[in-house]
Amino acid sequence: MVFCHPRRDSLCGAAYDRVLAGLAAAGHEVRTCDLYAEGFEPVLSLADREAHLVDHRVDPSRRPEIDRYVTDLMWCETLVLVYPTWWAGQPAMLKGWFDRVLVQGVAWELPPGANRLSPLLRNVRRIVAVTTHGSPKRINALEGETGKRIVTRSIRVLCNVRCRTTWIACYGVDRLSADGRNAFLDRVERKLARL
C-alpha cells in the first residue's frame, strides 16, 4: 500500500487506517509506505533520467533510494494507492513515485523492434485506488477524471493482463458531513475486506 498525504490526521489518513483494517480482516499480508513520512524524493533527477536512457533498464541495486519500493512492488499481488485528488489528479509526490519506480526494467520493457510496451508487473492482479475529491463527481467527470484514467488505463497495462481495478472515491469532501465521511470510511473497509 502506498499512502500519499502530508497529514496522517486527514480523511485520507483515516482511509489508510480503514484499508489496513479491511485487509487485516481478510487475512492479507501487507507492506506499506508513507511517502511523506519517509521523505520520498519525487523528483526524477537528470542523472536518473540519463542513466535510464543509456542503460534501458533499472538495476535497483544501483538505486538504493528506490530499492525497497521496487522490491515491494515486485512482491505484491494487489497495489493499493491511498491519496487525495488535487488539481484533478494524483499529488506530485505520488506522481513522482510513478516516475521513479514504475520505470523500464521494473514495470515495463520495450523489446527491440516492438511498438508496444511489455508489462513486467505480472504479479499485480488488482489495483485499488482510494481517493478523496473536494469537488462533486460531476465536476470530476467534466474534467475528464484524469487521476482515474492514470490508474485504470496507464498503470493497469503494466500489470497482469487480467488485472482489475477498484476505484473507491469520496466526492465533495469540502461540503461532506461527518456522517458522509463515516459512510465513506465504512465503504473503504468493507470493500478491502472483500478482496
Q: What are the extents of the domains in the chain?
A: 2-193
CA neighbor of 130 nearest in space, from 180, 97, 170: 170
- Chain segment 141-167, per-residue pLDDT in tens: 888 899 999 999 999 999 999 999 999
pLDDT of residue 50: 74
Handedness of CA 19, 126, 27, 193 (dihedral sign): positive
Written as one string, the DSSP assignment of 52-110 is: HHHHSS--GGG-HHHHHHHHHHHH-SEEEEEEEEBTTB--HHHHHHHHHHS-BTTTEE-
Q: The pTM is what?
A: 0.92
- Chain segment 38-95, per-residue pLDDT in tens: 999 999 888 777 766 655 555 554 677 889 999 999 999 999 999 999 999 999 999 9
Tell me which CATH code domain 2-193 carries: 3.40.50.360
